[in-house]
Structure 1
């Protein structure tokens, strides 16, 4: 019996078909695992642009086949370029050929806030006489762990700028400099001002008044450093280096008024603490911003008139004067700036050494003692003589001081104090001496009177005759008048030369 051929061939055909299919699966599957690209990446930050710069490296897994990058997809979707043959010419990564067992490096720029980037590469491996192989591979880089990339600033905003400064209060100079290498942005400017004041004390005290013209300048654009200078008063002062222009200057610092506070550079708070350096304020000076002065005028009655003035060229404040005298007198008076006061008179009884003080210190030329004015009338000395007596009288004009008079004749001396507007007479018995001396020690004056009695007193008297007969009549009055005339002459001589003894005839 002959069996049909088909009965044998059909199972064999089915088995062969199954083997081809399996081979095809292997052929398709195996290359997929054998041919591939390896993609790795690193990233950096471009501070000029603020972009992330990713460097992708794509390696060919095959040692004997070139890989053609058929398709390249990036996420984020920005260009991925490669340098070709070392020439600095960037070309797209897609379409490039990676030599066998080699790699290509490509660069991609992505926004600075990118957290993840992926590169997907579809590659082809073609070799003559062999089937084409292909594979798609991914590479991913995580950027979330890095800080966001931001461009380096090209300038600094005015409200964020920091400064440094120098300050010399006693000299009235300061400098301010913008810190860092960046200028202020745009048209931004920051003003600073140096100002000096009159001050009542070398420590902080009020009121204070601006002295001269404050110096103000700004930092901005290409101007990154300034120098400020102000004049300093030749007296107590305050100098301040402040944040802001001249519109920030306080013309008068008064009790309970505005203050600069943290506007002074070097302060602990804003804005002054945005500048590093010494404290930008100074209090000092070695003398008062007033020019107190005093003058004195002696009066014939022994009192002293004291005039006080506060009108010097740097007077800015009222002055509290104190006038003190050695014998207990004291009085205080306030004199306003630019004014004078001449109301104080130190009585003769309280005079002695007089001092004018301000703040407990004697003002310049502020010490004085009474001196007899040259135009005060002098005491008058008159005499009356006869054969028995020699009388000397001292008369002190009204409006003057009491005068001490010492009368000396024939070895005897008597002293009298003559009140103003009064007279004192001393009578001596006629003796052998021809002269008597009247001394006025308070005036440094001595007067010499010659005993010349009227008439003939006999042989026993000073005149060569026996005394005892008084001389009267017109002749006596003439002698007295002559004595007064001589006294006046003596007074004139006294003014010219003190301590000279003036002789006149009684």
Structure 2
């Protein structure tokens, strides 16, 4: 008979780290005997092995008893921990009077019910002899049961998390184009599983959601799996209206472009209410904003000598992703709308001369930068020419306006008389004054801020009006050819001198 030394002060230390205890309901069958044992039990789950651990308590309220038989269902060992040794079987164990022993049984994790029967014998100390049956006084067989289903099944603690069950957390900063995604908990994804996440930014037509949208730069994508349990994502954000999305999946999930009535990310955006986006906790993973249009509308102007202005409209810039509708406005209510596709230019808008006083180029009802202009006379435009024909009786002045220009206003003044003419392009206007004592005529082009002085000095006239006849020059005959040659020279000189006469007077003799 085994009579090991008991120590009830030492807990079952070998089980403490792995067990989660809970008390089960135990039914005890008591024999019709004056001596019996009370049997109760508690159960815990060993998450390392996935087994249930039952702790049976056998209480002896009478004289010393010896366990003669043990029947367990399920049929697994029932042992008692003893100081100095790992454990001994419950069968054969001696239970002192008024003592309780704890015996441990391990059963499969899916066991629903356990039962323990303990047969014990009590000995009469006054009766001694060789016949063991004579020395025994009452014997009993007591039964205890426990329901193991109260806390569900018992399974080993997982060493990894299945990708389909994994949970995540994320951060998101749309204006900066940054995000992080992290696997929740201490367990990695099981096996070779990888879960990808992608951050993508777009050109957008408005600071609120609108289409079409075009991917800007290269999306940032990475995965969680293996030893990698946290990722950081960074993308460039355009300097204009934009949308930034943090989505569930790899770059193959990116939609480019986002168009009206087309595909959408929906619940794939992290932070959404539906799956899979709701499997990551954090802020909403999408952003719409930006302070200016994703276009680069520009305009240039070119004045023509005829008074018209050609307006060149361009939509060719690094952020020009959308067509631009320009409006060109001129004086007197003149207006024209021109649509320029991205990356293109239009050079066919001509503002008529009568409307070119003040020109504006607008986009979305606002004048664009550098979009105002007023016609300016080009420096290479030919100037009007002035010719003079002086006789002893008359002083004739002719203004000629080259073709391809604007009508020009000319003021002729001689003595106390002034004549004004408007000379059309390709035409001439002649004014004839009666010769007098004044030696200079003034020709002014006020619109061009030009003046020209023409000296009245006819040849061959005696007396007043033009001065004295130069000695040695005949009045008739060959002198007539000299006068004609002088007139031709005056034409050439007049043209040259007038070109040089801006903002100053030039004198020449006719």
What is the TM-score normalised by the length of structure 2? Answer: 0.84
- Which residue of the partner structure matches residue 157 of structure 2? 152
Name 2:33's counterpart in structure 1.
33
2:337 to 332, 338, 345: 332
Name the SS of the counterpart of 1:327 in structure 2: helix
- Structure 1 SS opposite 2:457: coil
Quick one: which of 208, 214, 218 aligns to 1:213? 218
SS of the equivalent of 2:500 reads helix
Residues 57 and 446 of structure 1: CA distance in aligned 2, closer, same or farther (over 3 Å): same
Counterpart of 1:293 (choices 288, 295, 298) is 298
Distance 2:85 2:163 in 1: 41
Q: Deviations over 1:229-282 (max 9, x none)?
A: 112233332221110011111122222221111111112211111112222122
Q: Which residue of 1 aligns with 2:16?
A: none
Q: Number of residue pairs matched?
A: 465
SS, match of residue 488 in structure 1: helix
Query: 1:174-185 alignment to 2 at 5 Å?
Result: 174-185=179-190
1:51–1:445 Cα change, 3 Å = same
User: How many Å separate the matches in 2 of 1:437 and 1:268?
Assistant: 88
Is 1:484 the counterpart of 2:488? The answer is: no
The residue correspondences of 1:103-502 to structure 2 (distance < 5 A) are 103-130=100-127, 131-133=135-137, 134-459=139-464, 461=465, 463=467, 473-494=480-501, 498-502=502-506
How far is the alpha carbon of 1:357 from its aligned partner? 2.5
Q: Cα deviation per residue 1:155-181 (whole Å; 9 max; x = unaligned)?
A: 222112221111112221111111222
Query: Considering only CA atoms, is the larger Rg found in Structure 1 or Structure 2?
Result: 1
Q: Return 5+ residue gaps in structure 1 as ranges.
A: 1-30
TM-score normalised per structure 1: 0.85
Q: Is the 8 A contact 2:452 2:498 kept in 1?
A: no
| 8 Å CA contact 2:39, 2:56 repeated in 1 | yes
Q: Would you say 1:46 and 2:51 are equivalent positions?
A: no
Q: Tell me: CA distance 1:167–1:491, structure 2 relative to 1, closer, same or farther (3 Å).
A: farther
Q: Secondary structure at the match of 1:302?
A: coil
Q: Is contact 1:329-1:351 (8 Å) kept?
A: no
| CA–CA separation in structure 2 for the residues paired with 1:101 and 1:278 | 64
Tell whether 2:72 aligns with 1:67: no
- 2: CA distance, partners of 1:298 / 1:361: 23
Residue 509 of structure 2 corresponds to residue 505 of structure 1: yes
Q: Which secondary structure does the structure 2 equivalent of 1:247 belong to?
A: helix
Which stretches of structure 1, 4 residues or longer, exceed 4 Å deviation after superposition? none
CA separation of 1:115/1:346 partners in 2, compared to 1, >3 Å: closer, same or farther?
A: same
Structure 1 stretch 268-277 or stretch 31-40: which is displaced more? 31-40
Deviation at 1:55, TM superposition (A): 1.6
Q: Distance in 1 between matches of 2:462 and 2:274?
A: 108
1:34 is paired with a residue whose SS is coil
SS of equivalent to 2:447: helix
SS of aligned partner of 1:442: helix
- 1:22 aligns with none
CA drift of 1:60 comes to 1.9
Moved more, 278-287 or 223-232: 278-287
Gaps of 5+ in 2: 1-30, 128-134, 470-474
How many angstroms apart in 1 are the aligned matches of 2:287 and 2:407? 58
C-alpha change, 1:88 and 1:260, in structure 2 (3 Å) is farther
* 3-state SS in 2 of match to 1:262: helix
Q: CA deviation at 1:132?
A: 0.2
Q: Which residue of the other structure, out of 56, 63, 82, is the alignment partner of 1:84?
A: 82
Please give the per-residue CA displacement for 1:110-152, whole angstroms capped at 9, x wherever unaligned.
3334443222110122244433022111223334444443443
Is the 8 Å Cα contact of residues 327 and 351 (structure 1) preserved in structure 2? no
